[in-house]
Structure 1
Amino acid sequence: LIPHFYNGELKGEITVAGLKVDEHPTYELACHVGMVFQNPENQLFALSVEKDVAFGLENLGLPREEIRKRVDWAMKITGIYELRERAPYELSGGQQQRVAIASILAMQPQVMVLDEPTSFLDPLGAKQIFDVIYRLNRELGITVILVEHRLDLAASYATRVIVMSNGKIVMDGPPRKILSSEKAKLIGIGIPKATRLYQILKNDGIPLRGNKTPITPQETAELIVEALSDD
């Protein structure tokens, strides 16, 4: 988006898939990196789901058969194929977000950037979106960069966490290392509830075993069950 959409001073060099961003148009860069916005309504405007998913491909001038193939594939991967004839404005927030993801997925990017895709969703809708994102990464090999404040949920899926403060990277590492560190508390990162519960129980003298601090509800539950079984 910089410098093609947002004006600003660009220093140094930024490359996307080996392409310098200031020397190539947005549509060319978008073939390599796709972006899903925080509010899905900002990128949905067609009269049906399948037309929304096909929009980017049509702008690339791809053959009709190829467009049909990619659209059906993207809708099936994201679980919205049965909604293909529905109008996007009739869908729930979670369904709309999956349509937005499918529209980017159909472009077959190497990297997908998602800006807080669950901020408007309830816990169930948020988990469904994370399940889709997980599948894109683990099964399709797409690199996923996720801007997210729901660390309780993100910790279960992420392989790397980068913490930024005032535009600078202050922490970078595996989720468990980041979320269980003292520095995370000092800079105000919201520690997952499962981790906080583990720390409270340990401080109260509950003999929880394990060499690693749990960061997911399942991990904490397993330690508690083990402690109760020993009693």
Structure 2
Amino acid sequence: MKIIEVKDLGFKYAGTDFYAIRGVNLEIDEGEFVVLAGKSGCGKTTLLRCLNGLIPHFYEGEFEGRVLIDGIDTRECPPHILSQKAGMVFQNPDNQLFALSVEADIAFPLENLGLPREEIRDRVEWALKLLGIEELRKRSPFELSAGQKQKVAIASVLAMKPKILLLDEPTSSLDPVSAKNLIDAIIDLNRRHGLTILISEHRLTHLIPHADKLAIMDRGRIIYFDDPRRILKEDVLIYGVSIPRVVEVAREMRRIGGCIPFKDIPLSVEEFISGLKGALR
């Protein structure tokens, strides 16, 4: 079932004379894990804003095409309703955290929905456990590490029980260890809980092995959308996509005569080693 359907989407921000995105078509099935990549300024953030209704309800401009989220036209549904279908985590978690405690931040959007107090408590507890951050419940968000803040921001979105999680470069301010821990948590949400994930990210090494699809944007358009193995056979570096080193090595080995060929492009070190073992038997 298609949970995200984008048809001929275009948007020009008010006060600008160019389209941030144009001619975008995209279909994502429920439960899929999709990575969105491309140079800074290529339109990734604008596309995510269109998917959760910030465009056209919050950002003014010229909107073209159609976006359906779980069958709902985003032009006809306010963002606070859409947030229960497609929750978004921003690049800077400080933009989403403002309460005096972690549990208060997670409860805030639920209180705005007017949910019963008991249900709010249950959802906060569920989201804390889901991200493994129960010990942070009484802490102030402003004394947390960047990685902890991102997990709290994700928990506050998940408490709304959305079917889709949209993430806009969530690891951009994190060190490598914190980034991997956060990515592992996001992968777990997809694999164990069936959440549809669309994540805009530059660090592809840990994400690509788990991605069902890879979308690459350039100058406001999606130029590739397919299985990562098929796309990474091509030279995508010109589009600002830094491919995993293991993919580079495998491609070079396929190119050079006499080297061990790989039937499929390996997306992880484990797949690379498995491919070598198979070829050497």
Give the TM-score normalised by structure 1.
0.90
Question: Given the superposition, is the C-alpha separation of residues 122 and 225 from structure 1 closer, same or farther in structure 2, using an over 3 Å criterion?
Answer: farther
The CA distance in 2 between the partners of 1:137 and 1:222, in whole Å, is 25
**Counterpart in the other structure of 1:191:** 243
Amino acid at match of 1:24: C
Kindly indicate whether structure 1 or structure 2 has the higher relative contact order, using CA contacts under 8 Å at least 6 residues apart: 2
**Counterpart in the other structure of 1:35:** 88
**Counterpart in the other structure of 1:216:** 268
Counterpart among 148, 151, 160 of residue 95 in structure 1: 148
**Counterpart in the other structure of 1:82:** 135
In the TM superposition, residue 150 of structure 1 has moved relative to its aligned partner by 1.0
Amino acid at match of 1:66: E
SS at match of 2:184: helix
Count of matched residue positions in the alignment of Structure 1 and Structure 2: 228
Counterpart among 136, 143, 146 of residue 196 in structure 2: 143
- Summarize deviations over 1:18-38 as a string: whole Å, max 9, x none: 222222221111111100000
SS at match of 2:157: helix
**Higher normalized helix content (fraction of residues):** 1
In the TM superposition, residue 222 of structure 1 has moved relative to its aligned partner by 3.8
Report the identity percentage: 47
Q: Does 1:162 align with 2:222?
A: no
Structure 1: gaps (5+ residues) = none
- Summarize deviations over 1:184-221 as a string: whole Å, max 9, x none: 24545322111112334555667435411112122224
SS at match of 1:215: coil
Cα RMSD after superposing both structures: 2.0
**Higher normalized strand content (fraction of residues):** 2
Structure 2: gaps (5+ residues) = 1-53
Asked whether the equivalents of residues 208 and 223 of structure 1 are also in contact (C-alpha less than 8 Å), the reply is no
In the TM superposition, residue 77 of structure 1 has moved relative to its aligned partner by 0.7
The CA distance in 2 between the partners of 1:75 and 1:178, in whole Å, is 36
The CA distance in 1 between the partners of 2:122 and 2:202, in whole Å, is 35
**Counterpart in the other structure of 2:39:** none
Asked whether the equivalents of residues 130 and 157 of structure 1 are also in contact (C-alpha less than 8 Å), the reply is no
